[in-house]
Amino acid sequence: MKIYLDNAATTPLDAEVMKVMYSAMESTYGNPSSIHAHGREARSLIERARKTIANLLHASPAEIFFTSSGTEADNMAIRCGIVDNGITHAITTHIEHHAVVHTLEAMEKAGTIKLSFLDVDSKGNIDFDQLEQLLQDNPRTFVSLMHANNEIGTLTDIERLGDLCEHYNAIFHCDTVQTMGHFPHDLGKLKVHFLVSAAHKYHGPKGVGFLHISHKIKIKPLIYGGAQERNMRGGTENVYGIVGMAKALELAYADMEQHRAYIQGLKDYLKEQLIENIPGVEFNGETGEDKSLYTVLNVSFPETDMADMLLFNLDIAGISASGGSACSSGTDIGSHVLTGIGASSTRPSVRFSFSKYNTKEELDFVVNKVRGLFMVNA
């Protein structure tokens, strides 16, 4: 039995997405920058996809720019948003995705910015009072904070963030890679300058994403070399990936509430079964429905001699998940997120992340296997 519970890393491609991608591959092979009929046909697919995504997000098609990934989109927003707007101060947390933290740290090391890190509590919640104080005490600031943490699932109130950034004239960049396709985003109301997505997190293809750039902000390209994406991103567009991404997001929005209720049920069920079957089990991050990403459950298991082998043993049992533990020293390679929230470095943690394709029967199998591992090593 093979069970896939690593959907926060990537999701299976939806059959309907594969179908539209295959159709495009079969019939549309022109370069979208070419002016002949074959090129115009490819260009038409791209622009239809852009309009689809923009309509779902209540944005203008002119604000949607296609990229190769969420990581590229984060880099474009951060590097160009800071440099092209003369920003000298940035704010983030130690538990952001490395695409954000490493980029900002590199810019600080180069002397481009002063970087401030917000405190987070043991559940991964930011300190809004500290954020406001930093915004008050510094020149115009670039704020980079994610909507939901990719490891522990804790949600941040991005509406409140947007209002606060607007009040202090700060530039707000939000990594929504984990929540796009799982929560609605109304960019007609949300006060955000940059918003990021990666298609493979919501049953779309890998290797394609997009960056929403508000009409209120101006930047220059990160990648030069061509006039693609209205002179904002050089390189021939990934036509098939873009088509698949638009279809995946369309499907996600069409069935969002149904899938949310179903997947939340799976998460709650696994949590209950683990509490019942594994004495001493705990959970990292927020787990309440209104404060947590419903696709992620980060489980902290009791201390055990087999901590380093837990994921390996799950894999041997046919269960795909991810995880680790907090770093116990500066030289350890562990989870920077778990370290950032002060999690124990001696307790193994596993991130189980769900999709519409998972079942309760699969979760029963997982609980039985985990219980067996801890009974053997008790």
Amino acid occupying residue 97: H
> Is-contact 274 352, C-beta < 8 A?
no
Q: How far apart are CA 159 and CA 148, in angstroms?
A: 13
Catalytic: 165? no
Q: Token pair of 67, please?
A: 């990229």
Amino acid occupying residue 138: N
Kind of pairing between the strands at 3-4 and 319-320? parallel
Collect all residues with Cβ–Cβ distance below 8 Å to 328 and sequence separation of at least 6.
334, 345, 346
Q: How far apart are CA 281 and CA 278, in angstroms?
A: 6
Burial of 24 (0-12, 13-18, 19+ CB in 10 A): buried
In sign, the C-alpha dihedral spanning 290, 292, 297, 300 is: negative
> Is-contact 298 151, C-beta < 8 A?
yes
Q: Token pair of 370, please?
A: 């985990």
Collect all residues with Cβ–Cβ distance below 8 Å to 190 and sequence separation of at least 6.
158, 159, 162
The active-site residue, picked from 80, 165, 174, 327, is: 327
> Is-contact 275 370, C-beta < 8 A?
no
> Is-contact 364 274, C-beta < 8 A?
no
Location of structure tokens 């009974």:
375
Q: How far apart are CA 340 and CA 327, in angstroms?
A: 9
Q: How far apart are CA 146 and CA 196, in angstroms?
A: 9
Amino acid occupying residue 165: C
Q: How far apart are CA 38 and CA 49, in angstroms?
A: 17
Residues classed as catalytic? 327
